[in-house]
Amino acid sequence: MKGIAAAVALSIGLCQLAFAGEIKIEGGGTAITSVFLPIKNRYEKLHGDSLSIVQSSAVKGLIALNAGRVDIAAAAHPLDDIIAGAEKQGVAIDRSDLVQTQIGENCLAVIANRAGEVRSLSKEQLKGVFTGKITNWKEVGGRDLPVGVIWGRQTEGQNIQFTRIALDGEPVTAKAHLATTYRDISDMVGQLPGGIGVVSIEMSTPATRTVDTISISSPIYAVTKGKPSETVQTVIDFYKAEYGFLK
């Protein structure tokens, strides 16, 4: 009897594996780290389908979607901007084929190394720091320390939104220290006396201080070819249900 029960259990398990599907997702660091990576393990456990997630950029994700290599292109900035980025890489994409569904919102935080002793920045001070016009923390009431701006290379959506809202379209200082992911930005700010950067709000650490400044947020989108399929819609609904956003 035990042997029969084991065989039945194995058969059920194999059937479940046989019917399990794969949902492929690619996109920028903001959307991937804020939405899809946090739900991956729990979604797979509850639904059986696997989430195959690639963190690259919003443009690369859209190009992959256009080529049929992924089911969802994840992004944290407007679709027209991403299409323009794809065109710069020689890929023409028909916008009429695409559906952009807002699934969340990325709240950004300005973080600084605690050594600088600055707790708040006005909009003009924030802009001055990130554009390189303010180069020492003593200019904004902090210690005599050089400002070290940390800027992400794989946080495209965040960079665009921050540049629009906080910098009024002006470029970040050419002297910025380049990081990759949100975690890298946070780690570098924590290690560099005088460091400052922009991250997802949950990425602040004991070595950094969240600076009181203007509110900065950006919508997060799932882009699909046509209306989201039933399985893709399940992923979207799962995130909304788990995180309580856009109900």
Q: Are residues 154 and 60 in the same domain?
A: no
pLDDT in tens, 144-180: 999 999 999 878 778 888 999 999 999 999 999 999 8
pLDDT in tens, 221-238: 999 999 999 999 999 999
Q: Are residues 118 and 198 in the same domain?
A: yes
Q: How far apart are CA 142 and CA 136, in angstroms?
A: 8
Q: Are residues 11 and 78 in the same domain?
A: yes
pLDDT in tens, 97-119: 999 999 988 889 999 999 999 99
Q: Are residues 78 and 65 in the same domain?
A: yes
Span of 2-16, 78-92, 120-134 with lowest mean pLDDT: 2-16
Identify the CATH number of the domain in which residue 84 sits.
Answer: 3.40.190.10
Q: Are residues 125 and 100 in the same domain?
A: no
The CB-side HSE value for 6 (13 A sphere, CA atoms) comes to 3
Q: Are residues 212 and 117 in the same domain?
A: yes
Q: Are residues 135 and 164 in the same domain?
A: yes
Top-confidence residue, 202 or 189? 189
Domain that holds residue 160: 106-218
DSSP state of 161: H
Query: Given the DSSP bridges, would you call strands 195-200 and 148-152 parallel, antiparallel or unpaired?
Result: parallel
Contact criterion met (CB below 8 Å) for 105 and 244: no
Q: Cα 168 to chain center, whole Å?
A: 21
At 42, is the pLDDT very low, low, confident or very high (cuts 50, 70, 90)? Answer: very high
Contact criterion met (CB below 8 Å) for 205 and 77: no
Q: Are residues 76 and 97 in the same domain?
A: yes
Residue type, 206: P
Position 15 scores a pLDDT of: 46
Residue entry with tokens 């046989």: 18
Mean pLDDT along residues 184-197: 96
